[in-house]
């Protein structure tokens, strides 16, 4: 086989791995790679305004479609700019390929442009850090990184290609690396023991995380066979159909409504699948699994980490559930349980009735109207803070890969670029971005990218002129806000500047008309921004629950001091 440039070899590896998009900004070190990308028929390079957005876009592609995407960055600054999104993918278990161009290693010269130890920088937030030492290693190294990124638990894998490899030609050695080992499956004795415990239980609780996504329809069959109420993690929202009569909530502890807590407390066994019991997912560890805990996860390091597992099972979710289902006795339908769940959700909805004194747009009304207009197949991206928890509580999603949120790293600036990645990967689905007005300041200029690519995303900028989640915590716990109120900015002018359509939504009564107008614009292939005068006067269940949980952990003297300080400042 004739020799190939390093750029052509990288592109060939991406094509053979089915990587459809690379996101980044070209620089002097990797212009040869971009020249090769320009000739590819299946890999599309996307120019971003900031490399942080590049990693969020690659994340959005993966979460929305299950397909791997690449972050393509220059040495040094390109990588460090992208680290926030890489870390988000790492903590949230999202596959990502990081193509980190390296400095030249063939000159022997020191103090080169962008010269930092990239592998050391990336080590804490990537699954693997690989370097192609020779041009002949490029193909196998890139493909190996893709395998690592996809293998469970999924996450980012980094490949450094020294710049000189792009300038010269090499024998390509297009042999694929050995395949990754098959994911671990539950041992027969573990499945049998789980079956015995479940059969002996009066009412099991299912708790499902994003790691359960591959089990698909078997999760419905499992819940129905056991007559088990189902809660999910925040990342796992939509993994179980949220219109199903057995679905409870995202979480079941202090951050959930009272009906959820009551039903969960009535259970005498917890079957947790594909979750890690993380701080955010548990509302600052504010929940206790009822009864014995059977914890199933493909990553053995998470089992028993925060909550002791009576039966830890190392297995992928799909094979475990498929092995368990045929051996379970079908229970008769528990109508009282379904009635309690139905009436509980109805009580929550009634509690969300738009208050007469609402100033601006009431979040439940906004999200209910959006979902009624866009249907059940839309994708929602949220940002760190109130938008995530509002969407988590108000939306009812029947499908997985519909809720894209920065959870365990909780990085601001996620919503807009992730929406662009989702729109690229899933052009047949509507994409709604819920961006806080503080987070929008970080990555909102990616609207320019949306306009350049004609991506029909609807960006709802939730405008309250402060960092809402932190401001609420400050007001509750401290009795005052500090450095959380935003300077004002003209969103309409920003939209004009980047050529994106702008609409203003000021009142609840205008929601349907304005959102229909926005959908008309996205239907014609244009991105649109809706500035929503959001009314955050009523706290989310999540906010109230987290405050109670953390306050309750303090010794009594400190609890009293916190409360008296907040009251004194409020009254003063």
Cα–Cα distance measured from residue 538 to residue 14, given in angstroms and rounded to the nearest whole number: 48
Q: What are phi and psi of 508, to 5 degrees?
A: -60, -40
Cα–Cα distance measured from residue 506 to residue 492, given in angstroms and rounded to the nearest whole number: 14
- What is the structure's pLDDT at 343? 98
Residues across the chain: 572
User: What three-state secondary structure class fits 391?
Assistant: helix
**Pairing label, strands 4-5, 528-533:** unpaired
The tens digit of pLDDT for each residue in 411-456 reads 999 999 999 999 999 999 999 999 999 999 999 999 999 999 999 9
Estimate to the nearest angstrom the gap between the alpha carbon of 462 and the chain centroid.
19
The CA angle 267-270-272, to the nearest 5 degrees, is 145
Half-sphere exposure of 123 (CA within 13 A, CB side): 5
Cα–Cα distance measured from residue 163 to residue 112, given in angstroms and rounded to the nearest whole number: 12
The tens digit of pLDDT for each residue in 214-269 reads 999 999 999 999 999 999 999 999 999 999 999 999 999 999 999 999 999 999 99
* Count of CB atoms situated within 10 Å of the CB of 102: 25
> How many separate helices (H) and strands (E) can be counted in the chain?
22, 20
- What is the structure's pLDDT at 494? 97
Contact indicator for 344, 336 with CB cutoff of 8 Å: no
- What is the structure's pLDDT at 572? 67
The tens digit of pLDDT for each residue in 293-305 reads 999 999 999 999 9
Q: What are phi and psi of 416, to 5 degrees?
A: -70, -55
Cα–Cα separations (whole angstroms), residue 145 to 69, 139, 158, 160, 337: 12, 10, 7, 10, 47
Q: SS3 for 412-445, per residue?
A: CCCHHHHHHHHHHHCCCCCEEEEEEHHHHHHHHH
Q: SS3 for 293-309, per residue?
A: EEEEECCHHHCCCCCCC
Q: Is the pTM of this model over 0.85?
A: yes
The tens digit of pLDDT for each residue in 99-132 reads 999 888 888 877 888 888 999 999 999 999 999 9
Is residue 478 predicted with pLDDT exceeding 80?
no
Q: Classify residue 427 as exposed, middle or buried by CB count within 10 Å of its CB (0-12, 13-18, 19+).
A: exposed
Is residue 473 predicted with pLDDT exceeding 80?
no
**Mean per-residue pLDDT over the chain, rounded:** 93
The CA angle 538-489-505, to the nearest 5 degrees, is 50
Structural element, H or E, at residue 570 = helix 556-571
* Count of CB atoms situated within 10 Å of the CB of 571: 7
* Count of CB atoms situated within 10 Å of the CB of 296: 29
Half-sphere exposure of 135 (CA within 13 A, CB side): 19
Contact indicator for 399, 380 with CB cutoff of 8 Å: no
Residue 73 pairs in a beta bridge with: 100
Cα–Cα distance measured from residue 81 to residue 41, given in angstroms and rounded to the nearest whole number: 28
Q: Classify residue 181 as exposed, middle or buried by CB count within 10 Å of its CB (0-12, 13-18, 19+).
A: exposed
- What is the structure's pLDDT at 1? 66
* Count of CB atoms situated within 10 Å of the CB of 280: 24
- When pLDDT is averaged across residues 178-194 and rounded to a whole number, the result is 85
Domains and CATH numbers, the chain: 4-170 (3.40.50.970), 188-342 (3.40.50.1220), 353-543 (3.40.50.970)
Cα–Cα distance measured from residue 569 to residue 474, given in angstroms and rounded to the nearest whole number: 12
Cα–Cα distance measured from residue 222 to residue 228, given in angstroms and rounded to the nearest whole number: 8
What percent of the chain lies above the pLDDT cut of 90? Answer: 80
The CA angle 272-396-303, to the nearest 5 degrees, is 15
Cα–Cα distance measured from residue 209 to residue 234, given in angstroms and rounded to the nearest whole number: 8
The tens digit of pLDDT for each residue in 1-22 reads 688 998 999 999 999 999 999 9
Which residues in 201-225 are b (16+ Cβ under 10 Å) and which e?
Answer: bebbbbbbbbbbbbbeebbbbbbee
The tens digit of pLDDT for each residue in 54-63 reads 999 999 999 9
Cα–Cα separations (whole angstroms), residue 11 to 172, 433, 453, 512: 12, 31, 22, 46
């Amino acid at each position: 086989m004739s020799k190939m440039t390093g750029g052509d070899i990288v592109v060939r590896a991406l094509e053979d791995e089915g990587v459809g998009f690379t996101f980044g900004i070209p620089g002097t070190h990797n212009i040869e790679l971009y020249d090769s990308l320009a000739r590819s028929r299946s890999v599309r390079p996307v120019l971003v305004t900031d490399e942080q957005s590049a990693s969020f876009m690659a994340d959005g592609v993966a979460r929305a479609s299950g397909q791997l995407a690449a972050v393509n960055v220059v040495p040094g600054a390109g990588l460090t700019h992208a680290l926030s999104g890489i870390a988000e993918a790492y903590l949230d278990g999202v596959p990502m390929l990081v193509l980190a161009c390296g400095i030249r290693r063939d000159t022997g010269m020191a103090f080169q442009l962008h010269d930092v130890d990239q592998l050391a920088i990336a080590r804490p937030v990537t699954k693997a850090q690989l370097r192609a030492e020779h041009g002949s290693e490029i193909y196998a190294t890139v493909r190996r990184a893709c395998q690592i990124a996809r293998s469970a638990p999924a996450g980012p894998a980094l490949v450094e290609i020294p710049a000189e490899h792009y300038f010269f030609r090499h024998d390509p050695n297009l042999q694929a690396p050995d395949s990754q080992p098959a994911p671990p499956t539950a041992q027969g004795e573990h499945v049998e023991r789980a079956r015995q415990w479940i059969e002996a239980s009066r009412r099991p609780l299912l708790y499902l995380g994003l790691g359960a996504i591959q089990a698909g329809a078997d999760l419905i069959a499992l819940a129905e066979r056991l007559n088990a109420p189902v809660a999910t993690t925040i990342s796992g929202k939509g993994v179980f159909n949220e219109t199903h009569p057995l679905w409870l909530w995202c979480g079941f502890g202090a951050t959930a409504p009272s009906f959820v807590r009551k039903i969960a407390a009535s259970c005498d066994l917890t079957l947790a699948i594909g979750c890690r019991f993380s701080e955010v997912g548990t509302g600052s560890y504010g929940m206790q699994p009822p009864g014995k805990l059977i914890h199933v996860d493909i990553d053995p390091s998470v089992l028993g980490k925060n909550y002791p597992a009576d039966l830890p099972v190392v297995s992928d979710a799909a094979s475990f559930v498929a092995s368990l289902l045929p051996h379970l006795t079908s229970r008769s339908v528990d109508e009282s349980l379904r009635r309690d769940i139905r009436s509980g959700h109805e009580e929550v909805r009634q509690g969300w009735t738009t208050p007469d004194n609402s100033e601006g747009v009431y979040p439940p009304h906004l999200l209910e109207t959006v979902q009624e207009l866009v249907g059940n197949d839309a994708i929602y991206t949220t940002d760190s803070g109130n938008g995530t928890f509002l969407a988590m509580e108000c939306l009812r999603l029947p499908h997985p890969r519909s809720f894209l949120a920065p959870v365990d790293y909780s990085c601001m600036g996620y919503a807009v670029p992730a929406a662009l990645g989702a729109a690229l990967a899933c052009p047949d689905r509507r994409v709604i971005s819920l961006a806080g007005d503080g987070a929008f300041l970080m990555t909102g200029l990616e609207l320019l990218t949306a306009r350049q690519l004609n991506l029909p995303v609807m960006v709802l900028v939730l405008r309250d002129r402060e960092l809402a989640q932190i401001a609420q915590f400050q007001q509750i716990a401290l009795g005052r806000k500090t450095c959380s109120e935003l300077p004002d900015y003209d969103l309409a002018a920003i939209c004009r500047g980047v050529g994106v359509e702008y609409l203003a939504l000021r009142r609840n009564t205008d929601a349907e008309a304005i959102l229909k107008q926005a959908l008309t614009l996205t239907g014609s292939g244009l991105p649109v921004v809706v500035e929503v005068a959001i009314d955050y006067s009523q706290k989310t269940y999540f906010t109230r629950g987290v405050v109670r949980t953390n306050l309750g952990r303090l010794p009594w003297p400190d609890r009293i001091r916190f409360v008296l300080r907040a009251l004194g400042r409020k009254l003063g």
